[in-house]
Amino acid sequence: MGGLLMAALFRHSRVAALAVVIILAVEWMLASVGVLGQWARRPPPFMVMMAVLFALTLWLALSQLGGKIVEATPLWVLIASHAFRLPLELVMHQAFIEGLMPIQMSYAGSNLDIVTGATAIVAAALVRAKVLVRAVATMWCVLGLALLFNIVQIAVRSTPVFRAYGDDRLNTWIADVPYVWLPGVLVPVALLGHVLVLRRLRSAI
């Protein structure tokens, strides 16, 4: 059974890898020609792109492939994979310091997603050691989802569409190359990871 599962995952992974490459290329092209920076259009192309990506992410997470990934991956590994959000937030903070990103999107402002990355390491270790597995995993996942939603709504409200933080704190850099891959890849990956954790929690741990 394990061999059949790994073979199925390998077959699907090649298709998934091709799909990711295509998505990366499309995002890069749209950003490089300025389409995603057309905030005055209704609806803004960037918002349309993100809506499509979120829909595809949820479809993948809830699909048969998502189920195979959940079945083949230990819960602690699914949680530990979110550790990438710790160095990511450090990079984003540096972007704020260099004047590229508005303060509200860093941990110096209203973005606390660095907590998710840091606690993922601790939560994964506890789950691997079988310490209050379901409670630890559930609390961590809820916290991570809340903080992910927080930064997403901050990013959206900071765009020229809403200007919630003022004209001097606009979030436009995410529509440029190569930064478009942050919302276009890393945010969907984080969402995918959380849904997979929740699926794993519903199945046998």
Dump the DSSP string for 166-186.
-GGG---GGGSTTTTHIIIII
Tell whether the model's pLDDT for residue 6 goes beyond 90: no
- Average pLDDT score over residue span 191-204: 93
Q: What is the mean pLDDT of the chain?
A: 93
72-95 residues labelled b (16+ CB within 10 A) or e (exposed): eeebbebbbbbbebbebbeebbeb
pLDDT value, residue 127: 98
Q: Percent of the chain beyond pLDDT 70?
A: 93
Summarize pLDDT for 155-171 with one digit per residue, the tens: 999 999 999 999 999 99
pLDDT of 204 reads 66
Asked whether 128 and 99 are in contact (CB, 8 A), the reply is no
For the cut 60, the answer to whether the pLDDT of residue 190 exceeds it is yes
| pLDDT level of residue 1 (50, 70, 90 thresholds) | very low
Distance CA 53, CA 189 (A): 10
Q: What is the pLDDT of residue 157?
A: 98
Helices 2-32 and 45-62 cross at an angle (nearest 10°) of 180
**Taking 90 as the threshold, does the pLDDT of residue 7 lie above it?**
no
Average pLDDT over residues 21-42: 97
DSSP state of 33: T
Residue that wins the pLDDT comparison between 202 and 15: 202
CA 127 from chain center: how many Å?
22
What is the rounded CA–CA span in Å between residue 113 and residue 115? Answer: 5
Residue 5 has pLDDT above 90, yes or no: no
Burial level of 30, CB count in 10 A (0-12/13-18/19+)?
Answer: buried
Q: What is the predicted pLDDT for the residue at 3?
A: 53
